[in-house]
Homo-oligomer: A and B are copies of this chain.
Amino acid sequence: METNMDVDYVISYRFANTDKSHAAAQFEKLVQALASVGLDTEVRKGDKHSVLLFVRVASEEHLFGEVYRSRVHDWIHGVRTAAPPKETREALEADPLYEAERLRIIYQLITHPTSEGGAGITPKEGEWENVESIFTLHDHAYNKDWIKKWSTSYFLKTEDLDDIRNRLGEKVAFYFAFTQAYFQFLIFPAAVGFGAWMFLGHFSPIYGIINAVWCTIFTEWWKHQETDLAVRWGVRGVSRMEIKRRDFKHEKQLTDPVTGEKVLIFPATKRLQRQVLQIPFALCAAAVLGALIATTFSIEVFISEIYNGPFKSALVFLPTGIATTAMPILSSILTNFATQLTKYENYETQGAYERSLTQKIFVLNFITSYLPIFLTAFVYVPFGRILVPYLDVFSLTVKPFAENEKQMKVPSRSTFSINPDRLRKQVIYFTVTAQIVNLGMELVVPYLKRQGFSKYKQIQSDRAAKREGTPPQAHAEDPAEDAAFLARVRQEAELDVYDVTADLREMVLQFGYLSLFSVVWPLTAVSFLINDWVELRADAIKICVEMQRPIPWRADTIGPWLDSLSFLTWLGSLTTSALVYLFSNDGLGPDGTPASISGWALLLTILFSEHAFILLRFGIQKAISKIDSPGRQKERRDRYLVRKQYFEESISRLNKAPRMVDAGEKLSRESLEEDARTSSLSGNLMNPEKRFWARQKGWRETAGVGRGLIERAEMDVSPERKKEL
């Protein structure tokens, strides 16, 4: 029904800000570059200032060549165990091309530098700044099936993930696999959490321990599972295949004297110096974001628990207002700064760049996501009585509304009592409300944006039509039979690019709430379980409807987020034990004010639980590493077969000399006489080594002499033994 016209990629070429003749010349160059690597092209009108260039592989022959090249590359870098068969057609029969592989290879053909056999098209950069985007087209029939299937099933099977991998590539598939694994894993803590919520009371150490163990098992198990999936999808090791960053600036260029390879060098010490800037950056970010959070937090405490004047119910939302306005602005400034800093660190490979950027983004997100709860748990509750008197500075915020000073009077230490529900309410806010809002934002905002944008365009072109009297059909020249297709392509050209790391980050941060704070409110996992079922489907819809079809990149891991997971489980062992110790000590009463907290006991609890955690993790790692899996079996088998084949091939080249030293050799009178003659002839010229080895000839003689020695030795001993008896 909805054909993609065999189009592999669409290149949107925009010339709004360029001189027309230059734009046309560049366009010609573009088309020529694509043709030079074996790609067919067709051009159509885009919107007012762009044309759409449709690209497909000119012939299967070309494609097979590229596939073979790519597979040889994989083999050399250890991703494939064996070299692909020499005949490409045979190779494709043994190991068929899947859609994502095909699309990836073509994308690389378009974007790789000419030195590596590509067309060297780099969107929005340098020579190709008019190339606005390179995207591939959605397969609407498949998308429809996909969403229908997922929205009617509780669990996703590995085959469903295989499907994603075949269509959208391993990187996206790894996100869905991770989220699905996490979703399944949530069932157990959700059940335990529900039980704990029903029967165990607040801050149950039992729930805390189970939760910490389970989070550790999940993290370690996922590492195991990841390898298995990577083997299943034939991508194990691709993350080691470093892709050079195009923006890398070298200081020196050396030619290796041995290999003749050109090496671009940027001194590691210099990079290290630049990396050190991360520390002040993290501190600054923590200070800025922390100050904002602490301020709004204090204002909120002041208004909700001290202020007693008019408009209280409205003013309570003031701090939230400040936070929701200022936080995204600050966050985006800091994220921008982090990106700049990472660029400045000048990494040589794409992988290193992404790792470094992810670390910084994680720090920022860590602060914005968890600091408010940390403040409540470890500052407000234990030190509230001490700190509250200093809150009168915030009376400024409500001064215009207060009727008298008394309404803003800060209570003395003795009269102020801490709001015991604040911590729980906050955790519930972050784990339920914020998650729902977030999910809504992900789906609704882009929809509204798109609607608004198309409305705006409609109005504009209506206005133009009125003014000029031309009909509003901008694309009247489209042939009737292509019109629907072209309209669809134009619409897809305007969509956003899907960023899988943003979705992954969301999941990791969600996992953080579970690991760090779920002991406060054990229903956390229940909320997440429901949320993630929807999330998985919502992300599928998002990809299908609101985003351009993602370029099918490969991956063999969820990457640096794995470190974040490990970090969060470790930190969870600290926070959970501290929370349990601070809040669950019986006899403290429900008001949560710890009367008899002793520093050494808290520290001992933390110290103990941290080391118990490290030991436990070590044990779990060991145990999980022992688990076999289909992927591992497959890998072992492949390796074994390849080794066997290579070994046999190599050994067969060896000209087989008879290994037996003297097979068939006989001691005859003649040979002995012959020996004696040579020996006497060469006389003293024969060296002692030769004489030593000449005494026994062939293994039979050695065996015979040995037999003699053994028998005589026996006789030597016998008389002695007899005497001794």
Interface set of A (CB-CB < 8 Å, partner B): 3, 5-6, 13, 15, 20, 23-24, 27-28, 31-32, 34-45, 48-49, 51, 53-54, 56, 58, 61-62, 65, 68-69, 72-73, 75-77, 83-84, 86, 88, 256, 258-259, 261, 268, 271-272, 464, 467-468, 481-482, 485, 598-600, 602-604, 606-607, 623, 626-628, 637, 640-641, 643-644, 646-647, 650-651, 653-654, 657, 659-662, 688-689, 691-693, 695-696, 698-699, 702-703, 705-707, 709-711, 713-714, 716-717, 719-720, 723
Contacts and interface: CB of A to CB of B under 8 A. Distances in A.
Contacts of A73: 647
B657 A706 contact: no
Given A23-B710, A43-B709, A603-B603, A641 B699 contact: no
Contact of A27 (B35, B467, B647, B703): B703
A707 B27 contact: yes
A657 B62 contact: yes
Contacts of A627: 268
Contacts of A711: 20, 24
A41 B76 contact: no
Contacts of A41: 696, 699, 702
Nearest to A644: B259
A62 B706 contact: no
Contact of A717 (B31, B48, B695, B707): B48
A256 B36 contact: no
A3 to B, nearest CB: 6
A482 B692 contact: yes
A5 B693 contact: yes
A688 B637 contact: no
Contacts of A695: 42
A31 B702 contact: yes
A323 B323 CA distance: 69
Contacts of A77: 643
A423 B628 CA distance: 50
Contacts of A20: 710-711, 714
A212 B650 CA distance: 51
A27 B706 contact: yes
Given A43-B702, A68-B654, A689 B49 contact: no
A15 B53 CA distance: 88
A602 B717 CA distance: 72
B259 A654 contact: no
A626 B268 contact: yes
Nearest to A271: B626
B696 A42 contact: yes
Contacts of A467: 720, 723
A511 to B, nearest CB: 22
A75 B32 CA distance: 44
Given A62-B659, A272-B623, A24 B706 contact: yes
Nearest to A15: B710
A49 to B, nearest CB: 6
A639 B598 CA distance: 59
Contacts of A45: 709, 713
B626 A35 contact: no
A42 to B, nearest CB: 5
Given A5-B689, A20-B710, A86-B650, 13 more contacts: A27-B703, A27-B707, A28-B703, A36-B659, A51-B709, A51-B713, A68-B654, A72-B650, A84-B650, A86-B653, A88-B654, A268-B628, A599-B600
Nearest to A665: B35
Contacts of A256: 637, 640
Contact of A713 (B48, B468, B485, B705): B48
Which of A35, A39, A73, A256 has most chain B Cβ within 10 Å?
A: A35
